[in-house]
Amino acid sequence: MSNYTSRTGSPYTDRPAPPPIENDGWESTRAQTALATQIMDREGDAPPAYRQEIGRPVGNDVRELFVACAPGEALQQQFEHLHPEFIAVHDLATRSSRQLLRGIAAASNRAVQKLVLRRQGGGAPVATIDFIEVPVSAQETLRIYSTDIDDTTDAAARHAVARTLLAYSQLGVMMVGAMPAENIHALLRPWHEELIRSPWLNRNLLLLPLTNTPALTTNGQNMVRGTSITLRTTPVVTRPADAWNFINGTWGRLRGAVSPLGAPAAPARSVTTDRAAASQPPVQSQAAARVSAQIDAGYRAPALPDDPSGFAPTNLLPLRPMPDVRARPVPMQDEVLEVYVHQVCELNGVVGCCVFDIGSGLPVAHGGAGAPPEELARHGRALLSAMGTTSRALGLGHTLPDAAITLGSHHLLLRSVAKHAGMALLTVLDRTNANLTLARLQIERLDPLLDR
């Protein structure tokens, strides 16, 4: 017979319970011994500062970027992702930009660097861009690109790279060589179409004539007509040091007064836009002054080694269109224009309207219903570009169009915005409720709102 009194009871009822475990201090130090996992960089990885730059350094003042699309599109993708600040120097009827870079680099004891764009999969270079980095303060350097590229014989690719560099720079410099006065218009006219048609974020251009060209200023203003771009034309530049002085001075005015090396920057001030301002002696930092003083001293840039080529032979991949991975654009805002579009939407028959920037195609102010502002701005810019191209092709002038378009059930009104250079208004009206002639007159009468 079993001695257990219950099938579910413990067979060790007579055994005493174990004594409680004494606190030996381990619990109090447990938090100190709990380690968090930290992901470390691989040995040889670039420091964080380089990760914000285009391409990877491969030594000997060379950076390389592998691309699967056209060079201009690849640069545009990088600029829209990283938002770098830089100056682009372009040649018109001359090849002086790289010579200027070599002079500045030698005077500042720096080498001319190269950004090599290589085809993905094959490694063959598709474009090589020269650039330099000059000191503008104790902690900052300014990058200057030349649009005179190597490693490509495709004229369209060269133009696309030059256009992208100028369009996404904070200051675009055009060095103009000797040419007959009657050729200046034909030389600058394609750039006017680029300013209107292409994504163009740059708002400051500087013309540097290398010879006396009387018609340059007038044709330069025609080039930027209808945009919000500020154009400055300098006196004739005969020395690289003079060119650097004007570039550095213009950059200083855009960023506020240039401070001496190591000193805090002065508050920003308004930018003067006439030719006289460009001819004033620019204020320079000590570092920039040293560069200017040495550019003409006869220094020669350090020799750059040949670009090594030791890539295994592989089949070249065809260029693909650039994926749409651009950064979200920062919307512009203007309180006066917000009031303006609100009043436009109050007019009889107005479905919606949008004020947009002609250069970038971004909406600035929007009101009403219907299509979203991004679509109105994009299609309004496309309409302006098409009508402007037609007007220029027929020899009818360069003025921004003022158009009324009648569709099946709606009217479209497209006009420039008074007192706001580079802005346009696209208004959508319901055809059954709106009087087109009256609506145009009423919108014109709202122009005094823009004087605030």
Other C-beta atoms lying within 10 Å of the C-beta of residue 279: 13
Give 428's pLDDT tier (boundaries 50, 70, 90). very high
More confident residue, 183 or 298: 183
Cα gap 114→57, rounded to integer Å: 10
Task: Look at residue 261 in the predicted model and tell me its pLDDT.
Answer: 31
Look at 116-125, 263-272, 362-371 and tell me which has the smallest mean pLDDT. 263-272
Is a pLDDT exceeding 60 seen at residue 230? yes
310-341 tens-digit pLDDT:
444 445 555 555 555 454 444 455 788 888 99
Express each pLDDT in 168-207 by its tens digit: 999 999 999 988 888 888 889 889 888 888 889 999 999 9
User: Residue holding tokens 């369209």?
Assistant: 156
pLDDT of residue 199: 85
* pLDDT for 295: 56
pTM confidence score: 0.56
Using the predicted structure, report yes or no on whether residue 360 has a pLDDT greater than 90.
no
What stretch of H or E contains 216?
helix 216-223
DSSP string covering 322-350: PPS-PPPPPPP--HHHHHHHHHHHTSTTE
Q: Any idea which of 2-6, 206-210, 318-322, 364-368 has the lowest mean pLDDT? A: 2-6
- Give the span between the Cα atoms of 420 and 362, in whole angstroms: 15
Dihedrals phi, psi of 89, to nearest 5 degrees = -115, 125
Lay out the sheet containing 363-368: strands in order across.
363-368, 350-357, 423-430, 410-416, 403-406
pLDDT band at residue 369 using 50, 70 and 90 as cut-offs: confident
- pLDDT for residue 22: 57
Q: What angle do CA 405, 406, 410 make, to 5 degrees?
A: 115
Is-contact 329 198, C-beta < 8 A? no
Name residue, tokens 């994009």.
378
Report residue 286's pLDDT band, with 50, 70 and 90 as the boundaries: low
Give the rounded percent of residues in the chain with a pLDDT score beyond 70: 71
DSSP β-ladder status, 125-135 and 113-119: antiparallel
Cβ–Cβ contacts within 10 Å for residue 241, how many? 19
- Does 11 have pLDDT greater than 90? no
**pLDDT score recorded for residue 441:** 92
| Model confidence at 63: pLDDT above 60 | yes
Tokens of 112: 């001319």
Residue 149 in contact with residue 225, Cβ under 8 Å? no
The number of CA neighbours under 13 Å toward the Cβ of 389 is 14
Q: Is 319 exposed, middle or buried (0-12, 13-18, 19+ CB in 10 A)?
A: middle
**What average pLDDT does this structure show over 225-229?**
84
CA distance 248 to 254: 10
Question: For the residues 79-87, what does the mean pLDDT come to?
Answer: 92
In this predicted structure, what is the pLDDT of residue 324? 53
> What's domain 335-451's superfamily in CATH?
Dynein light chain 2a, cytoplasmic (3.30.450.30)
Q: In this predicted structure, which of 345-349, 403-407, 416-420 has the lowest mean pLDDT?
A: 416-420
What is residue 23's predicted lDDT score, i.e. its pLDDT?
55
Residue 363, classed as helix, strand or coil, is strand
* Tokens encoding 416: 């420039």
Q: Specify the length of the chain in residues.
A: 452
Report d(CA 234, CA 216) in Å as an integer.
Answer: 10
Task: Over range 25-42, report the average pLDDT.
Answer: 52
Which contiguous run of DSSP H or E holds residue 357?
strand 350-357
Q: Which residue has the higher pLDDT, 42 or 205?
A: 205
Can you give the pLDDT at residue 180? 85
pLDDT of the residue at 136 = 73
Mean pLDDT of 135-159: 84
Say what the pLDDT of residue 183 is. Answer: 86
β-pairing, 125-135 vs 171-176, is unpaired
Mean pLDDT of the chain: 77
Domain ranges of the chain: 60-295, 335-451
Radius of gyration of the chain (CA): 31
Phi first, then psi, for residue 265 (nearest 5°) are: -75, 145
Q: Taking a C-beta distance cutoff of 8 angstroms, is the pair 351, 370 a contact?
A: yes
DSSP state of 199: -
Would you state the pLDDT for residue 29?
55
Burial 170-181 (b: 16+ CB within 10 A, else e): bbbbbbbeebee
